[in-house]
Amino acid sequence: MAEREADLTKTYDAVIVGSGAAGGMAAHVLTAHGLQVLLLEAGKKLPIEQELRSMEWPYDNAHRGFLPPQSHSLSFNEYTIRNPPYGPGFEKSEHLHSYVGSSDYVKNIVVNERENPFTGTNYAWVRARCLGGKTNIWGRLALRLSDYDFKAKSRDGYGDDWPINYNDIAPYYDKVDLYLGITGVRENLPYLPDSIFQRPTKLNCAEVTLKQGIQKMGRVLTQYRAGVTSEGLKHNKYRSRCYGRGACERKGGCDIHAAFDSPTGLIYPAMDTGNLTLRTNAVVREITVDPQTGKASGVHFIDSQTMKDYSVRAKVVVLAASTLESARLLLLSKSRLYPNGLANSSGHVGHNFCEHVMGPGVAGRAKDLVGKPPTLDDGRPGGFYLTRFRNLAEKHPKFIRGYGFEGGSGSTLFPRGTDVHGFGASFKEEVRRNQGAFVGMGAFGEVLSRYENYVDLDPAVKDKWGVPSLRFHYKFQDNEHRMAEDMKETAQEMFEAAGFEIVHVSSRVLTEGWSIHELGTARMGTEPKTSVLNQFEQSHDVKNLFVVDGSAFVSASCQNPTWTIMALCWRSCDYLADEFQKGNL
């Protein structure tokens, strides 16, 4: 792809804010339709292969793969006892990262919390300001939603239905599968539709034991559905097929790009069309509005390095800055015409904020594997996914909606089971004998969308670039806590059914935000009084403004959102291009 200097004097057909899963997809679809597109990214373009170094051995790394001494990543305890914006108590470290930034391989991908403060209730907010954003380090679990999610209100009466159903989005899930690649096994589950899968990974022995153990309970364990191309993609020269090298478990990303990331999967191919201009280090601070027409006219941005202010004009503005950053931008874009922020006549921008609750889970040992010769277990993008089973056919008496488990088993580069009591010869032997026998899983559950869970702008605190910070008003409530209690119990009951020796059962709910699945701050809907966007992620108020990231979600479901963000975005951008060509925007 050829990079060129961004021409800021011309009027682009569309400007996209953010280069992650949503921004990359918008760039792919709009450039394919022939639109002239400017893509703005707040962070740098990193030499990503040099950051990720997926096959580096710990002993070849200056700090054995851990963070260098001047950096610190927040722990669960610190999130619990320190309040944002995380200034006091961390004076000793120059760089302060979210909990994800705990290795040498991701330290430059996640933001420095000091430069990007936020206030209010505790939130483990994980942000990646660099080309590709969080897709550089995502967990890769690529799941579809179903009408159990899109029509959840019709099923249990809570919240709102989505303005689309599964049939509307299914063809776009297919397009995403084929364009980006996904591994998995067909299961024919109505609540978790199959994708068009490439070569699947294989379960190891303890995982097969668990799968068989829970079958009699009517529960389903399937291979991790990874957004990874296991066979390669003929249409993409930037990505290799997966070679099972196994650094996936350190969640440091994939330096041959077999795992999807937005730059190699979407942005570089879009640049090859000749229709895409990329501008990095562009911190967008406001969407500008034409006072005559009331339409969006472009954006103001600050160069993150020089601190200089720029403006650029576009006929359509597409926000893809992430659920929380897109909401922040809408709230920042106040004007005489839009005193509550842009696209906010409903007052719902920043509200209905939801995500996934995490923490409860179980760790155990497959006794028949203890002391067996070492096996190769982590040469694959993921272990297993144990699908939702609550509130499908039967109604649970204590909570609504559902949860699934992500898990895995076997040997890892850094052994599991070193946190046991004791030391010496027996400790060493125990670690060695147990290393291949460990099995663990943790739950991801739907957090209900609630108007009273929201973000707004802090009246005083600003980030390094002088842009007002977000303030959180967000807490898990009873439904989440009752669900978490059930997660713990069912996790234990399933490990018992598999005959595993249970080592640890966790009932601890992790800090809000931990799942990195924040959603819903500019939700879609048919009713402009209670929603921000229509079914094509187009603002009810401003027709040439689209918000194509997780903020459009009406509810969180319990399935990981990235694949749905991209399928929805593709559908919306097809509509956008069509309306653009008809002159309707």
Partner 1 sequence: MSTKDPIDLRQDRRQWLKTSATVLGASLLPLPEVSAEVSQAETAPVPQAAKTAQAKSTARFFTPAQHALVEELSETIIPADSHSGGAKAAKVADYIDQVLRESFDDSQRALWREGLRLIDIMSQHYHGRGFVNATPEEKIALLTVLSDHEQMSDLPEVRFFIDLKRMTVRGYYTSKVGIHDDLQYKGNRVLQEYVGCDDQEPSSS
- Which residues in this chain contact partner 1 in the complex, by CB under 8 A? 55, 57-59, 64-66, 68-70, 92-94, 199-205, 207-208, 230, 243-247, 373-380, 411, 413-415, 418, 421-425, 427-429, 431-432, 435
Q: Which amino acid is at 163?
A: P
Q: Which is nearer to partner 1, 92 or 336 (CB)?
A: 92
Partnered with residue 440 across adjacent β-strands are 363, 408
Dihedral sign computed on CA atoms, order 562, 568, 573, 576? negative
Tell me the closest approach of the beta carbon of residue 111 to partner 1, in angstroms.
20
Nearest approach in angstroms of CB 230 to partner 1 is 8
Q: Which is nearer to partner 1, 47 or 373 (CB)?
A: 373
Nearer to partner 1, 105 or 172 (CB): 105
Q: Give CA–CA dist 464/479, Å, rounded.
A: 37
Q: How far is Cα 281 from Cα 142, in angstroms, rounded to an integer?
A: 29
Nearest to 526 by CA among 167, 160, 173, 169: 160
* Shortest Å distance, C-beta 413 to partner 1: 6
296 - beta bridge partners?
289
Closest among 239, 254, 227 to 54, alpha carbons compared: 254
Euclidean distance between CA atoms 362 and 492, whole angstroms: 6
Q: Which is nearer to partner 1, 320 or 441 (CB)?
A: 441
Nearer to partner 1, 163 or 184 (CB): 184
What are the backbone dihedrals phi and psi of residue 80, each rounded to the nearest 5 degrees, phi first?
A: -80, -40
CA-to-CA distance for 18 and 22, rounded, in angstroms?
A: 8
Nearest residue (CB) to partner 1, 322 versus 435: 435
* Cβ 105 to partner 1 shortest distance, Å: 14
How many CB atoms are located within 10 Å of the residue 128 CB? 25
The CB-of-70 to partner 1 minimum distance in angstroms stands at 6
Our CB check for partner 1 shows the closer of 247 and 573 to be: 247
| Pairing outcome for strands 501-506 and 356-365 | antiparallel
Closest separation in Å from C-beta 439 to partner 1: 13
Q: How far, in Å, CA of 449 to CA of 453, rounded? A: 8
Nearest distance from residue 372's CB to partner 1, in Å? 9
**Nearest-angstrom CA–CA distance, 157 and 139:** 32
Q: How far is the CB of 209 from partner 1 (least distance, A)?
A: 9
Kindly give, in sequence order, each residue whose CB lies less than 8 Å from that of residue 91, ignoring residues fewer than 6 positions away: none
- Of the pair 73, 490, the CB lying nearest partner 1 is at 73
Residues 146, 16, 309, 271: is their CA dihedral positive or negative? positive
Residue type, 72: H
For residues 561 and 550, the answer to whether their CB atoms sit within 8 Å is yes
Residue 228, C-beta contacts closer than 8 angstroms, at least 6 positions apart: 140, 181, 182, 183, 242, 254, 258, 259, 260, 381
> CB of residue 216 vs partner 1: minimum separation in angstroms?
19
Name the residue nearer to partner 1 (CB basis): 71 or 275: 71
Shorter beta-carbon distance to partner 1: residue 204 or 469: 204
DSSP strand E in 392-532: where?
403-409, 438-446, 454-462, 468-473, 501-506
Please report how close the Cβ of residue 507 comes to partner 1 at its closest, in angstroms. Answer: 21
